[in-house]
Amino acid sequence: MTVVEFFGCSFLAFGPPLAMFSLTIAHDPIRIIILIAASFFWLVSLLFSSTVWFTVYPLRDKIAFGLVCSVFIQEAFRYLMYKLLRKTERGLQEVTDIIHISDYKHILSYVCGLGFGIISGAFSLVNILADSVGPATVGLKAGSNIFIVISAAQSLCMILLHTFWSVIFFNACDLKNYYHIGYVVLSHLFVSCITLLNGQELFAVSLTASYIVMLATCVIAFRVVGGNLASFKKFVTCK
What DSSP line would sit under 208-220, residue for residue?
Answer: HHHHHHHHHHHHH
Mean pLDDT of the 32-40 span: 92
Arithmetic mean of pLDDT over the chain: 85
DSSP the chain: -HHHHHHHHHHHHHHHHHHHHHHHTTT-HHHHHHHHHHHHHHHHHHHHHHHHHHH-GGGTT-HHHHHHHHHHHHHHHHHHHHHHHHHHHHHHHHTS----HHHHHHHHHHHHHHHHHHHHHHHHHHHHHHHHTSSS-TTSSSS-TTHHHHHHHHHHHHHHHHHHHHHHHHHHHHHT-HHHHHHHHHHHHHHHHHGGGGGGT-HHHHHHHHHHHHHHHHHHHHHHTT--HHHHHHHHTT-
Confidence of residue 143 (pLDDT cuts 50, 70, 90): low
- Taking residues 32-59, report their average pLDDT: 89
Lowest pLDDT segment from 114-128, 141-155, 197-211: 141-155
Q: What is the pLDDT of residue 213?
A: 96
Residue 128 pLDDT: 81
| Residue 11 in this model has a pLDDT that exceeds 80 | yes
Q: Which of 14-28, 46-60, 139-153, 187-201 comes out lowest in average pLDDT?
A: 139-153
Confidence at 184, pLDDT banded by 50, 70, 90:
very high
Asked if residue 98 has pLDDT above 50, the reply is: no
Average confidence (pLDDT) over 168-180? 92
Average pLDDT over residues 205-221: 94
Residue 212 is predicted with a pLDDT of 96
95 vs 7: which has the higher pLDDT: 7
pTM here?
0.89
| Angle formed by the axes of helices 101-132 and 2-24, nearest 10° | 170
From 164, 74, 89, select the one nearest 120 (Cα to Cα).
74
Do residues 172 and 106 lie in contact, with contact meaning Cβ atoms separated by under 8 Å? no
